[in-house]
Amino acid sequence: MKIGIVGYKGRMGKEIKDLFEEKNHEFVWGYDKDGEYFQETPQIIIDFSLPEVFEKTEDYVKKFNVPLIIGTTGLQDEQIEALKALAKDVPVVQSYNFSIGIQLFLKMVDFLKDKIDGWDIEIVETHHRFKKDKPSGTAKMIKESLDKDVPISSLRLGNVAGDHVLYMANLGEVLSISHRALSRRAFAEGVLKSAEFVTNKKNGYFTFTDVI
């Protein structure tokens, strides 16, 4: 696979580039704050950058007519709608979290949500000091899975790759579900699975749940 990465000099971009090259795929195109790197036309574009770069990503996907894997957090509603429109022409995989563990977390939430009426429920998420959006996209996904208006607490500490805890309590007991990403490798592995998933797709809007 010949890949292009928007945000290829960032933390997640470097992790993705390293993993794909380790698996014998080739990095041939990139876009970052310093401009465009071009070796040849990519077969797929991966975007883990910032919402303000979204229009650039959209333009390049249209220009190259290739699939898009996007994990950018903090996207606005109109940007999600633009992705769905783009998916009519090319395959798009959009998720705020590409770890398999979080998918299992969401499955547990789906199982529990109808059994905890009247319980106190809160979400706590912790990420590295450089993460700009609060709350995290993953915390929002957990909240959406609960179908309830649940408070979210956000901590920005050190170099934490990503911790999410869902607390549920009644007057006699506390139940919690937690997920900790030990490194960004967990997310990069999910991106690789997503890239393999869209290889033979002509178009369509997918989430990482569809990939798994």
- Beta pairing partners, 36: 31
Q: Cite the DSSP H helix spans in 99-202.
A: 100-112, 137-146, 185-198
Question: What is the residue whose two structure tokens read 């606005």?
Answer: 76
Residue type for position 204: G
Query: What is the C-alpha separation between 77 and 90, in angstroms, rounded?
Result: 20
Segment 185-201 shows an average pLDDT of: 95
What does the pLDDT read at residue 116?
97
Mean pLDDT across the chain: 96
Segment 173-196 shows an average pLDDT of: 96
What residue ranges do the domains of the chain occupy? 2-97+185-211, 100-180
Percent of the chain clearing pLDDT 70 (strictly above): 100
Please name the fold of domain 2-97+185-211. Rossmann fold (3.40.50)
**Residue of 17, 131, 143, 179 with catalytic role:** 131
What does the pLDDT read at residue 132?
84
176 among annotated binding-site residues? no
159 among annotated binding-site residues? no
Instruction: Kindly report, residue by residue over 124-153, the tens digit of the pLDDT.
Output: 999 999 998 899 999 999 999 999 999 999
C-alpha separations of 37 from 3, 8, 9, 161 in Å: 12, 10, 11, 27
What does the pLDDT read at residue 135?
95
Instruction: Kindly report, residue by residue over 95-132, the tens digit of the pLDDT.
Output: 999 999 999 999 999 999 999 999 999 999 999 999 98
11 among annotated binding-site residues? yes
129 among annotated binding-site residues? no
What CA dihedral angle connects 164, 170, 172 and 175, to 10 degrees? -20
Query: What is the C-alpha separation between 31 and 53, in angstroms, rounded?
Result: 10
Catalytic status, residue 131: yes
pTM of the model: 0.85
Predicted confidence band of residue 188 (pLDDT cuts 50, 70, 90): very high
**Residue of 2, 14, 62, 127 with catalytic role:** 127
What does the pLDDT read at residue 200?
87
Catalytic status, residue 127: yes
The angle at the Cα of 10, spanning 31 to 203, to the nearest 5 degrees, equals 55
The CATH code of the domain at 100-180 is 3.30.360.10
What does the pLDDT read at residue 74?
87
- The Cα diameter of the chain in Å comes to 62
CB 92 within 8 A of CB 206: yes
190 among annotated binding-site residues? no
State yes or no: pLDDT of 203 exceeds 90. Answer: yes
Segment 27-50 shows an average pLDDT of: 96
Predicted confidence band of residue 164 (pLDDT cuts 50, 70, 90): very high
